[in-house]
Amino acid sequence: MDRIAITGGAQLNGVIPVSGAKNSAIKLMAASLLTDEPLRLTNMPRLADTRFLGKLLTRLGVSVTESDGPDGQQTILHAPEITSGFAPYDLVRQMRASFNVLGPLVARSGQAKVSLPGGCTIGARPVDLHLQALEALGAKIDLHEGYVYAQAPRGLKGAEIVFPIVSVGATEHAMLAAVLADGVTVIRNAACEPELVDLQECLNAMGAKVEGAGTPTVTITGVARLKGATHSVIPDRIEMGTYAVAAAMAGGEVRLTNARPELIESLSVKLEEAGATVVRTEDGVIVKRNGSRLNAVDIETAPFPGFATDLQAQFMALMTTANGESHIRETIFENRFMHAPELMRLGADISVHGGEARVRGVAQLEGAEVMATDLRASVSLVIAGLVARGETVVSRIYHLDRGFERLEEKLGACGAQVRRIKGDGEPEL
């Protein structure tokens, strides 16, 4: 398998264009199941996860065409008919979000058989809320031999859905199903992440009637059918935040473009508190650090607009060389400090107690061989490698390829000494 090697010590100076958001793109792709007309998605990232979902959608009857259009990278998805309502384990297990084809399949064709997604390395992420939402909409749900059998032969019906806890995936799934339900659906205690607003805008462009996304209450008035549309995927706030942290870590000046600064405001505030300079621009941010040592800063993850759990590992890497002691509290996922032992192989001083990590900044990290454990953990090791003395080699980087488009190219264009070491082939996921 491939590895990435980073030689530390180079500052970052230059421009990094931010790609479309992975976490939004994969839900927008699933929306193509809701119409027999083409859905054109622009500002599309080219990632392992979008390829995985494209393969599954193709099996279900969707033609998936990637190209470079007048608006940049685009994907056209067209499902004139659903040729199969079966999503097998060998495809669903490769990416949890592919489970979200269940709702659109039931909404359009009245039935589906979709594999449960299986375990997750960053903690339990059960789909019970997804299933409760579909049952509230009138679907009959049966679980058998690791598969969900869902039926609504007379169509889904509008309902009130009250989530006991906030769930981004379950909120998105309920929205995808309810747009074709008969009547009005009200989702309460809905997630408020920007990706929900992006999904609402896409569905409405397709003829749906959705309002309230980005607030705790989403209201959906079902329609009989949806049409094709063109929609631009929202910029990836996690990629944007990751490169902002990388710039603060390595020093120099990096301009992040094709992005929206308000999407990472909670991170920007913490970067400024640590001593970096963050300039908000019309299409992104500029992050500067003059080489002076950063100060330790405490963070606590929270749903948007709080500090994103998907930026926690990157910020921990930043704190490994900060002056003082920082405390990082993870409130979203359990078992999401698996990057800590790998950062410690680079010389970081980290201790983990339950959902909190204490990081004592050290003067210098040392390059070593480390192993990625999940998507965000893997990029935290790359960030640490930017300042570690000598060479850091990160293995199992198929995690990186799931969520970061052309990472070596983007960092390399700003002066980072980073290269991919080709292996004998990618592992089966």
What 3-state class would DSSP assign to 78? strand
280 is in an annotated binding site: no
Mark whether 414 is an active-site residue.
Answer: no
Candidate list 120, 192, 202, 414, residue with the active-site label: 120
Q: In what order do the strands lie in the sheet with 229-232?
A: 63-69, 72-78, 39-42, 229-232
Q: What single-letter DSSP state applies at residue 191?
A: -
332 is in an annotated binding site: yes
Which strand (E) or helix (H) includes residue 341?
helix 339-345
Task: Name the E strands within 248-315.
Answer: 252-257, 277-281, 284-289, 299-300
What 3-state class would DSSP assign to 304? coil
- Six token digits for residue 259: 């992005």
Integer CA distances (angstroms), 102 to 111, 127, 214, 415, in order = 9, 11, 23, 44
Integer CA distances (angstroms), 50 to 1, 19, 142, 309, in order = 20, 13, 28, 21
**Alpha-carbon span 80 to 204, nearest angstrom:** 20
59 is in an annotated binding site: no
129 is in an annotated binding site: yes
**Alpha-carbon span 200 to 210, nearest angstrom:** 6
410 is in an annotated binding site: no
Surface-to-core class of residue 5, CB atoms within 10 Å of its CB (0-12 exposed, 13-18 middle, 19+ buried):
middle
420 is in an annotated binding site: no
Backbone angles phi and psi of 142, in degrees to 5: -130, 140
**Alpha-carbon span 122 to 330, nearest angstrom:** 11
23 is in an annotated binding site: yes
Residue type for position 102: L
310 is in an annotated binding site: yes
Q: What single-letter DSSP state applies at residue 214?
A: T
Residue type for position 317: A
Binding-site entries for UDP-N-acetyl-alpha-D-glucosamine: 96, 125-129, 310, 332
Question: Annotated active-site positions, please?
Answer: 120
Binding-site entries for phosphoenolpyruvate: 22-23
